[in-house]
A and B are shown apart, each in its own frame.
Chain A
């Protein structure tokens, strides 16, 4: 409760509320998203035949560390729960649109990079199928 007759610059209060909003509502969404994104990415990459075990180990460790760190922050306040759920839901919804994650060799740079083929990308899916058929 502050006496409204006082003339105080609103900037400090605005910065405080923005920071508080980010930590209370933004951060749980980010951690919820990263949890699902991390585990699903680690799962999908570990299923790829060319992936080496140290990569799988590093990815799975990083995903679980992010998750645990997020949960440690999350358990402090009840109002963070729905926002965490929104982040999880967002990541699931996004990952459900992924058809495949591949690591093709870049033709010029000669390095492997991550390529995401989305479900709606018919050309990409067809290209992937042709590449699989050619390999068989």
Chain B
């Protein structure tokens, strides 16, 4: 009985939010102090990424997201850095990002992704949200490289735009 309870607890900790599900509200606080809410993007397809500014995969993926934001007119891209002392202004400038890049805490990122607080996250955690504010794709907890590739994301976001 104790073992079953322990296993159930461990599984509950490892679980993450189901897909599809309504996207929770999120405030994107940029370095300038400008605050944008996720709900303000309603009506557009949103590509949201939780990143660490020091992670090379995030840096590479940010370039892909920037390219996609120019290719798909109905797309809104946003990034949220949750590493400590993240200098998002320098990050956005260095990689030439024209979309909002905000800062957040690790706990808020975990809550948004539906993952137990304290669980290790592979970055970037990519989330694709449709026009009605429903999460239609989300990275696995250790990270999903497929959701960082240009061609796949392009097809996915076009399918979301067509819905």
**A interface list, Cβ under 8 A from B:** 1-3, 5-9, 12-13, 15-17, 20
Contact of A16 among B16, B19, B20, B151 (CB under 8 A): B151
Q: Is the CB of B19 within 8 A of A2?
A: yes
Q: Is the CB of A3 within 8 A of B155?
A: no
A1 to B126, CA, bound (A): 10
**B interface list, Cβ under 8 A from A:** 16, 18-20, 136-140, 145-146, 149, 151-152, 154-156, 159-160, 163
Q: Is the CB of A2 within 8 A of B136?
A: yes
Q: Could you tell me the distance in whole angstroms from the C-beta of B57 to the nearest C-beta in chain A?
A: 12
In the complex, which of the residues A3, A12, A15 has the most CB atoms of chain B within 10 Å of its own CB atom?
A3
Residues in A whose Cβ lies below 8 Å from that of B145:
16, 20
Considering only CB atoms, which chain A residue lies closest to B127 in the complex?
A: A1
Residues in B whose Cβ lies below 8 Å from that of A3:
19-20, 136-137
Residues in A whose Cβ lies below 8 Å from that of B18:
1
Q: Is the CB of A15 within 8 A of B137?
A: no
| 16 further interface pairs, Cβ-Cβ under 8 Å (given A8-B159, A16-B146, A16-B149) | A1-B19, A1-B139, A1-B140, A2-B19, A2-B136, A2-B137, A2-B156, A6-B137, A6-B163, A8-B152, A12-B149, A12-B152, A12-B154, A12-B155, A13-B146, A20-B145
A17 to B149, CA, bound (A): 11
Query: Do A6 and B19 form a contact, CB below 8 Å, given A15-B151, A16-B149, A16-B151?
Result: no
Q: List, sorted by A's number, 29 A–B pairs whose CB atoms are closer than 8 Å.
A: A1-B16, A1-B18, A1-B19, A1-B137, A1-B139, A1-B140, A2-B19, A2-B136, A2-B137, A2-B156, A3-B19, A3-B20, A3-B136, A3-B137, A6-B136, A6-B137, A6-B156, A8-B152, A8-B155, A8-B159, A12-B149, A12-B151, A12-B152, A13-B152, A15-B151, A16-B145, A16-B152, A17-B146, A20-B145
A13 to B155, CA, bound (A): 10
Considering only CB atoms, which chain A residue lies closest to B144 in the complex?
A: A1
In the complex, which of the residues B139, B140, B152, B163 has the most CB atoms of chain A within 10 Å of its own CB atom?
B152
A7 to B163, CA, bound (A): 10
Considering only CB atoms, which chain A residue lies closest to B145 in the complex?
A: A20
Q: Is the CB of B151 within 8 A of A8?
A: no
Contact of B138 among A1, A12, A17, A20 (CB under 8 A): A1
Residues in A whose Cβ lies below 8 Å from that of B146:
13, 16-17
